Amino acid sequence: MKIFSGTANPALTKKVCEYLEIEMGRCNIDVFADGEKIIKLEDDVRGKDCFVIQSTCKPVEVNLVELLIFIDCLRRASVQRITAVIPYFGYARQDRKDEGRVPITAKLVANLITTAGANRVLAIDLHAPQLQGFFDIPVDHLTGELVLTKYFKEKKFEDLTVVSPDVGNMKIAARYASDLGGDLAIVHKRRINGSVVEAQQIIGDVKNRTVLMCDDIIATAGTVCSAAKMVKERGAKAVYVGATHGVLCEPALERLSQAPIDEIVITDTIPFKDEARKIGVKVLSVADMLGEAIRRIHNNESISSLFNSIE
Ligand code: R5P
């Protein structure tokens, strides 16, 4: 087995390698003066089972193209199998034509990864689980829920209501509620534009309850902040937020620092920003979960049983 890292999140790859107790594969990733990337593997990989870990987070195009080049590089080096490990899959939200004359970029990106030569994909919270079907190769789909619920379980909330900050996330929120033993409430939001969201209505009772809001992505934080304001106005005692992918683009940090939220917890699928630490955002690592999934893929063991075995 060989594990390589793109430049998007080498800290996460390092932790995965520590979990697996193997050295990270050696390679040189460079940029020509004109901006083109060049990758050179410095380990012999012929016949090896290779994993390349690369989140396609910001700068999205740079990280995506680097992943494609990496896959091509491995393929041409005669490896036995290539698994693209994509902790955060950018463009996942562009997964349908919800209005006329728009692309389905998530499908385009899946096509590019497959065409480059990936044999499998290992991803975490693809925004909508049906995105697995965008790839014509096997996809193992993990969820940040495993690490987030473990963290929140330790808080032993006795009066918990899990709130889905939008209708699309309802199924995930229902799973959190069942894992953590709480009620369920749903906020109906209206997206005014890419960064402005308005919580319009809430189904369920949050008065005098501890609220845990869970989402797959915090991007501009419009969704969680407007939902947090609404649950507070409806009498919630405390508000916790758990999200897998901390995209945290402008003006997320400003919004989060001003929102009535007691604790924000994300994972390290995307490199953690120091500014986020300064406003108290907590980060949990998905490295052990990814490492264990990689070990099982390599040994042809079940991944679905992983969901029961991670404590
Ligand atoms: C939406 O469908 C997603 O699950 C997230 O709620 C959304 O992408 C978060 O975006 P933002 O933080 O910009 O409101």
pTM of the complete model: 0.96
145-285 — its CATH code?
3.40.50.2020
Q: For ligand 1, atom 7, which residue shows the shortest CA distance? A: 217
Whether residue 83 has pLDDT greater than 80? yes
Whether residue 147 has pLDDT greater than 90? yes
Pocket lining: 215 vs ligand 1, CB cutoff 6 Å: yes
| Domains 2-143+288-305 and 145-285 equal at CATH topology level | yes
pLDDT-based confidence at residue 307 (cuts at 50, 70, 90): confident
DSSP code at position 37:
E
pLDDT-based confidence at residue 310 (cuts at 50, 70, 90): very low
Whether residue 199 has pLDDT greater than 60? yes
Ligand 1 centroid to 279 CA: how many Å?
20
Q: For the chain, what are the domain ranges?
A: 2-143+288-305, 145-285
CA distance 131 to 55: 16
2-143+288-305 placed in CATH 3.40.50.2020: yes
Please give the sequence-ordered ranges of beta strands (E in DSSP) within the chain, or none if there are none. Answer: 2-5, 27-31, 37-41, 49-53, 81-86, 120-124, 139-142, 160-164, 183-191, 197-203, 210-218, 238-246, 263-267, 282-284
Mean pLDDT for 74-103 is 97
189 given a catalytic annotation: yes
The string of pLDDT tens digits covering residues 26-41 is: 999 999 999 999 999 9
Quick one: which of 153, 207, 199, 194 has its CA closest to 176? 153
Pocket lining: 95 vs ligand 1, CB cutoff 6 Å: no
